[in-house]
Every structure is written in structure tokens, then in C-alpha cells.
């Protein structure tokens, strides 16, 4: 199902981590992003879940690219420092940076299937309701973050998809110019994920001290997942 290049990635990851990457059915799984990586008492485990009769080639390839980055490249993963209520924010920012890097790679192998999946995802996101009036600052901030996130995905990772509706919405919300500036800066720091995480967290007006970064150290003995503050 996978090209030879990624078969080699799986073999290397399993050898280094000392465990098999399990691919298992799960009726509660999403279509994409169902990867669970763990290190417990020095023992690694990896599970890719899928919904339905079988996993799609695109979904499997997508998760293998995450495994490559997290286990073999030891890229940082954004996590809440202590307060569980920051988990959704950390996940959103981390997923944004990961997908800006992974999706172009994914499209290199399965362009048509990748475009079809992400076109559907972005179309659903484009249906964001307008904030009610009067609305809280938190509601306004959440809408603006979502729109800017969508533009980053479209401009950087999915440039072939139709961006007309999103651009119109950005203009309606007076976010077109500021979002363009945001993306220009972000695009130039994607090769340094930690720097990109700090930049996006600050631009989204999150408290960066509420976050930490974790890295899998699967080449060490014992293997571990090590955390450090996002900002020293």
C-alpha cells in the first residue's frame, strides 16, 4: 500500500523504537489523525486507528509521515504545561504546524486522494458562522484564529484548492492583509518547528507559559518522552 520510501520509514521506526506499529479498526476513529504514540517505562507503542473496513492509503501515509517526524526526527510536540484546559489550544497549534509540513509531502505520493480529502475538510471549515452581536472578545478571537488558520493551510499546504470563499470571508472580517503578513512570516520559519510554535502561539494571543514542548527520544536507553518549557 505504501511506496518503498515510506516502507523503509516504517521499518526504521519499528527497529529504533523496538515495537511494531499497529494498524487497528476503531468505530470511533476519525478519517485522519488517529495516531497514538507512547513511551511507558521505556517501552514504546504506536497505534494507527481507522474507521470502516480498511484504512485508506492516504490516511496511512499521513500517519506514517507523523511517525517519521515524531520518532525519527524528534520534532517538538506542543503540550499544555500543567493546566488541562489548554489541551485543545495546544493541539490546534501543533496540528497546524505539522500539517503545513506533512500535507505537501503527502501530496507528493497521493496528490489526487490528498486533495479530495483536504478539499472536503476545508469546505466544512468554510461554513464557520459569523459571531452574534453582541459577542464576547473570546468569540471574536476564536473566529479570527480559525480563519487565519484556514488561510495558512490553503496558502502554504494546499495552494491548488479554490480559496475564493475563504478570501472573501477574510475581506469581510477585515483580516485579509493581516493574515497575509502572518503567513509570510510563518512560511519562513517552518524548518524550525519550535520557533513556529512560539510565533503562532503569540500571534493567537495565547499565554506561551501555559505550554511546553515534548520530544520522543526513542534512540536512547531507556527510551523516553521529555518535556521542556516552550519559552525558556
Q: Is residue 229 part of a domain?
A: no
Q: Is residue 12 part of a domain?
A: yes
Are residue 68 and residue 126 in the same domain, yes or no? no
Are residue 92 and residue 198 in the same domain, yes or no? yes
Of 33, 34, 36, whose CA–CA distance to 45 is shortest? Answer: 36
pLDDT of residue 228: 96
pLDDT of residue 94: 98
For residue 14, the tally of other CB atoms under 10 A from its CB is 16
**The three three-digit cell numbers of residue 40, written as one number:** 511507558
Start-to-end CA distance of the chain, whole Å, equals 43
pLDDT of residue 205: 95
As a whole number of angstroms, the distance between CA 62 and CA 33 comes to 8
Are residue 125 and residue 198 in the same domain, yes or no? yes
**Residue 129 scores a pLDDT above 80:** no
As a whole number of angstroms, the distance between CA 182 and CA 151 comes to 10
Last residue of a domain, one of 72, 92, 121: 72
Are residue 128 and residue 173 in the same domain, yes or no? yes
Q: What three-state secondary structure class fits 44?
A: strand
pLDDT of residue 132: 63
On the CB side of 89, how many CA atoms lie within 13 Å of its CA?
A: 24
Decide the pairing of beta strands 211-217 and 43-50.
unpaired
Are residue 63 and residue 44 in the same domain, yes or no? yes
Q: Write down the mean pLDDT value for the chain.
A: 93
Are residue 84 and residue 116 in the same domain, yes or no? yes
CB 215 within 8 A of CB 74: yes
* pTM assigned to the model: 0.93
Last residue of a domain, one of 72, 103, 127: 72
Tell me which of 129 and 26 has the higher pLDDT.
26
Are residue 164 and residue 138 in the same domain, yes or no? yes
**What's the rounded mean pLDDT across residues 66-90?**
93
The CA–CA distances, whole Å, from 81 to 22, 34, 219 equal: 29, 23, 25
**What's the rounded mean pLDDT across residues 150-165?**
94
Are residue 83 and residue 181 in the same domain, yes or no? yes
pLDDT of residue 127: 73
For residue 156, the tally of other CB atoms under 10 A from its CB is 18
Last residue of a domain, one of 72, 87, 119: 72
Are residue 32 and residue 138 in the same domain, yes or no? no
pLDDT tens-digit map of 86-120? 999 999 999 999 999 999 999 999 999 999 999 98
Q: Is residue 224 part of a domain?
A: no
pLDDT tens-digit map of 182-225? 999 999 999 999 999 999 999 999 999 999 999 999 999 999 99
**Residue 133 scores a pLDDT above 70:** no
DSSP 209: G
**Residue 178 scores a pLDDT above 70:** yes
Q: What three-state secondary structure class fits 33?
A: coil
Of 107, 113, 5, 95, whose CA–CA distance to 55 is shortest? Answer: 113
Q: Is residue 226 part of a domain?
A: no
pLDDT of residue 130: 73
Instruction: Indicate the number of domains in the chain.
Output: 2
pLDDT of residue 82: 82
Q: Is residue 11 part of a domain?
A: yes
**The three three-digit cell numbers of residue 33, written as one number:** 489523525
**Residue 131 scores a pLDDT above 70:** no
Are residue 109 and residue 173 in the same domain, yes or no? yes
Q: Is residue 216 part of a domain?
A: no
Domain that holds residue 97: 78-207
pLDDT of residue 182: 98
Are residue 159 and residue 188 in the same domain, yes or no? yes
Of 104, 96, 142, 121, whose CA–CA distance to 30 is shortest? Answer: 121
Q: Is residue 215 part of a domain?
A: no
Tell me which of 12 and 84 has the higher pLDDT.
12
Q: Is residue 183 part of a domain?
A: yes
Backbone angles phi, psi at 28, to 5 degrees: -95, 0
Are residue 87 and residue 181 in the same domain, yes or no? yes
Amino acid at each position: 500500500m505504501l511506496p518503498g520510501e515510506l516502507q523503509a520509514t516504517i521499518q526504521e521506526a519499528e527497529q529504533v523504537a523496538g515495537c511494531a506499529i499497529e494498524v487497528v479498526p476503531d468505530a470511533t476513529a476519525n478519517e485522519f489523525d488517529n495516531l497514538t504514540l507512547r513511551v511507558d517505562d521505556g517501552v514504546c507503542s504506536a497505534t494507527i486507528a481507522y474507521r470502516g473496513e480498511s484504512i485508506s492509503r492516504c490516511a496511512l501515509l499521513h500517519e506514517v509521515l507523523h511517525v517519521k517526524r515524531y520518532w525519527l526526527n524528534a520534532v517538538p510536540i506542543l503540550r499544555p504545561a500543567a493546566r488541562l484546559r489548554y489541551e485543545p489550544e495546544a493541539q490546534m497549534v501543533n496540528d497546524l504546524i505539522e500539517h503545513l509540513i506533512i500535507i505537501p509531502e503527502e501530496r507528493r505520493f497521493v496528490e489526487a486522494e490528498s486533495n479530495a480529502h483536504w478539499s472536503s475538510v476545508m469546505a466544512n471549515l468554510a461554513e464557520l458562522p459569523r459571531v452574534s452581536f453582541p459577542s464576547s472578545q473570546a468569540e471574536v478571537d476564536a473566529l479570527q484564529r480559525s480563519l487565519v488558520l484556514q488561510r495558512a493551510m490553503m496558502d502554504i499546504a494546499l495552494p491548488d484548492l479554490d480559496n475564493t470563499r475563504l478570501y472573501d470571508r477574510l475581506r469581510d472580517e477585515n483580516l485579509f492583509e493581516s493574515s497575509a503578513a502572518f503567513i509570510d512570516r510563518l512560511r519562513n520559519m517552518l524548518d524550525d518547528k519550535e520557533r513556529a510554535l512560539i510565533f503562532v502561539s503569540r500571534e493567537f494571543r495565547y499565554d506561551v507559559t501555559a505550554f511546553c514542548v515534548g520530544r520522543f527520544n526513542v534512540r536512547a536507553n531507556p527510551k523516553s518522552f521529555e518535556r521542556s518549557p516552550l519559552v525558556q
